[in-house]
Every structure is written in structure tokens, then in C-alpha cells.
Structure 1
Amino acid sequence: MGGLSIWHWLIVLVVVIAVFGTKKLRNVGSDLGAAVKGFKDGMKDGSTDAPAQQVTNAGKAADPNTVDVDAKQRH
């Protein structure tokens, strides 16, 4: 029960090509490449420090169910 040889992998490749076809495999490859590129771009964009969002009171006063509270830190 050793590892798989190159012949085993070639047989698996032939079966996969026979089942899915070359066009489908080409589409899967390009979709996978685009997904990896999008993930890398997302990770690069996420690593930069985004400026803190400023919270305003605009629109809060119109809602009667809104409770405005100032939080205080304990010392």
C-alpha cells in the first residue's frame, strides 16, 4: 500500500477529462484563478487601516424609540 505513482494520476486525469470535458475544466480553472485573485485583493485591501467612521446624530432624533446614552469609562 504505497503512494500513488504517476500512472495512477494519469488514469485519474483521463477519467476526469472524460467525465467533465476539457471546456468545463478550462472554465473551472479560470473561475478558480479569478476567485484566488479576488481573495488576494480583498486581503490586501483589508490590511490597510480604514479611517474611523464618524457617528452623527442625523436621523436618530426622528425615531422615538431611540435612546441616546453617553458611555463613561470606569477608572
Structure 2
Amino acid sequence: MFGISPMQLIIILVIVLLLFGTKKLRGLGGDLGSALKGFKKAISDDDKDEDADFAAKEKVADKSTAAEKTTQNKTSEQKERN
């Protein structure tokens, strides 16, 4: 009912080309491509950051438990000396 025929699409593209010019459209296409590339990179970096954050939290937790054990050992040694 409201479909666009190939001839109408060509006419629309010619009008857009005449209004904006090839340089402007080329720059717009390049900007759009750069934006999509940056978006994809940000999404993939975000996934990696979440994994890195999880691993870092595990390491911090392991270090804190090791520090607690060391502190407990020192306090028990001090009690034995007294």
C-alpha cells in the first residue's frame, strides 16, 4: 500500500545528492562509519573490563584473606611469647 518502488527510491537519492553534494555525503558516511566502529569497540572493551574487574576482585579477596591469616599468626606468636 505504501511501498516505495525502485524508481521512487532513485529519485529520492538523486534529490538528496543534489541537496547535499558528494563531499558532504562522503563525510557523513565516514562519520557514521567511525561512530559505529567506536561503538563496537566500546562494547567489546566493556565486556573485557567486566572480566578484568571480576578477576581483580578475586585477587584482592585472596590477598585480604592472606593478610588476615598473617595478622592472626603474628598475634598468636606474640601471645605465646608473653
TM-score (norm 1): 0.64
1:2 deviation in Å? 4.2
Over the matched positions of the two proteins, sequence identity in percent amounts to: 50
Q: How many residues align?
A: 54
Distance in 1 between residues matched to 2:31 and 2:52, nearest whole Å:
29
Within the candidate set 43, 49, 52, 1:50 is matched to 52
Cα deviation for residue 39 of structure 1 reads 0.2
CA distance in 2, matches of 1:50, 1:2: 50
Name the one with the larger helix percent: 2
Q: Which runs of 4+ in 1 moved over 4 A?
A: none
Q: What TM-score do the two structures reach when normalised by structure 2?
A: 0.59
Unaligned ranges ≥5, structure 2: 61-82
Question: What CA distance in whole angstroms lies between the structure 1 residues aligned with 2:52 and 2:42?
Answer: 13
> Partners in 1 of 2:37 and 2:2 — Cα distance?
36
C-alpha RMSD of the superposition: 1.7
Q: CA deviation at 1:3?
A: 1.0
Q: Say if 2:16 is the partner of 1:16.
A: yes
1:3 aligns with: 3
